[in-house]
Amino acid sequence: MNIEKSKKEFARAQEVIPGGVNSPVRAFKSVKGSPLFIKKAKGSKIEDIDGNTFIDFVGSWGPMILGHAPDMIIDAITDAAQRGTSYGAPTIIESEMAELICKMVPSVEKVRMVNSGTEATMSAIRLARGYTKREKIVKFAGCYHGHGDSFLIKAGSGAITLGLPDSPGVTKSIAIDTLTADYNNIESVERLFSEYKDQIAAIIVEPVAGNMGVVVPNAGFLQGLRDITKKYGALLIFDEVITGFRLAKGGAQEYYGVMPDLTTLGKIIGGGLPVGAYGGRKDIMDMLAPLGPVYQAGTLSGNPLAMAAGLVTLKYFDSHPDFYTNLEKNAAKVEAGFKRNLREAGIKGVVNRVGSMMTLFFNDKEKLESFDEVMTSDRERYAEFFHLSLESGIYLAPSQFEAMFINASHSDEDLDNLLKANLEALLKLK
Ligand code: HOZ
């Protein structure tokens, strides 16, 4: 595969952009490669500047659940842009968007729009601290909640991919207020609560972990978090930046039937534009300025282009009752195909999946349920597999510790091609 133009552009970018990228995991560092520079994408396909075309299973790390550049979203953005790109004043579409989010996400009674998932999680914990008048938060090792200081403690995603789970620059006084527990281990949470009792403001969790690769919550884990937070008067925050509108219209909370106090959203709600949101119980949300004392603001929050793209996307789910059933059917086919291929190639692996998000881990274990367990996966083998897949026209995340996403634009032919390329790659692995 010729990627000369991408290589040249990467060299150019590295002169003026740290590491040549605006988000670390894009740099292909952990798979020891040179990132592809993208020219365009439509539907399920993405094309690089050398003219190579791939079936895309990254989908911009989650947002592109309808595929790339659906006409209805392009039309909505174009139409909105004619009327101006930002006003810094209220618009009707912000209320429409908020009404739809409150209707679709079961625990959300009021919602505030921001510009990214990171902003949503940062704001949600400030609000939780303001509401409870407590300072500590509990997060889980390997969960990633964006790059806010409080979350860069045993963080997932690019941080573990690059071996940097605790970032310099996070002060001791901030780190001391972040307590870490083990995902799927309710005892580890109980231990923290019995020690810190009324100092813990909130637990924040990815209800399905997506940033250490996909790790599925065991039966009773999320309910256990609900029970323990209730018992100690702390809040439960579901970080649904990935799972929101991906697992169901109402996200993981609808899928698992466990209601958090606050929810953070991002990715899909922006229809591919930069958006985040956080919402939840009215009594908590009403603590926000200008109603209450907890401050949070943003010049571009509720941006008309982003709202237009997001609203069309959410309306689409609302009016297509079979949307998630179809995604589930296709994703189940991929999971079954991956497992069949692993057996046929004689390669040890674990496929973790919920709905349309999944990860194929190269690992000898029977199941992977925690950060420590996924970290035993064979990254060298993933890197080789990644490049073999790329050569066959399959674009996967350049890291063992990320999710792959099936979206509505993937045709039967795309999925058959994926499974064929997957078997070929597995058979070639050393
Ligand atoms: N942290 C994102 C994936 N979980 C990476 C986003 C990006 O590089 O675009």
Q: Output the domain CATH number for residue 16.
A: 3.90.1150.10
Question: Both 121 and 151 in a single domain?
Answer: yes
Question: 380 CA to middle of ligand 1, Å?
Answer: 21
Give the span between the Cα atoms of 427 and 344, in whole angstroms: 8
**By percentage, how much of the chain surpasses pLDDT 90?**
93
Residue 365 scores a pLDDT above 90: yes
Catalytic residue among 183, 255, 267, 324: 267
Give the span between the Cα atoms of 305 and 93, in whole angstroms: 10
Give the span between the Cα atoms of 29 and 233, in whole angstroms: 43
Chain mean pLDDT for the chain? 96
For ligand 1, is residue 145 a contact (CB within 6 Å)?
no
Collapsing DSSP states into helix, strand and coil, what is residue 406?
coil
Question: Both 167 and 264 in a single domain?
Answer: yes
**Is the entire prediction scored with pTM above 0.85?**
yes
Taking the CA of residue 23 as reference, the ligand 1 atom at the shortest distance is: 8
Res. 96 pLDDT band, cuts 50 70 90? very high
Out of 319, 350, 374, a domain closes at 319
Question: Both 62 and 197 in a single domain?
Answer: no
Look up the domain containing 200 and give its range. 71-319
Q: Which amino acid is at 67?
A: G
Question: Both 61 and 115 in a single domain?
Answer: no
Give the span between the Cα atoms of 377 and 349, in whole angstroms: 9
Give the span between the Cα atoms of 322 and 305, in whole angstroms: 27
Question: Total domain count for the chain?
Answer: 2
**CATH code, domain with 278:** 3.40.640.10
Summarize the confidence of residues 414-423 as an average pLDDT. 98
Question: Both 298 and 391 in a single domain?
Answer: no
Instruction: State pLDDT tens for residues 213-258.
Output: 999 999 999 999 999 999 999 999 999 999 999 999 999 999 999 9
Q: Which two tokens stand for residue 339?
A: 């497992």
**Which residue's CA lies nearest to atom 7 of ligand 1?**
23
Out of 273, 290, 319, a domain closes at 319
Question: Both 257 and 199 in a single domain?
Answer: yes
Residue 142 scores a pLDDT above 90: yes
Residue of 17, 21, 22, 23 best suited for mutating to test ligand 1, as the one with most atoms within 8 Å of CB: 23
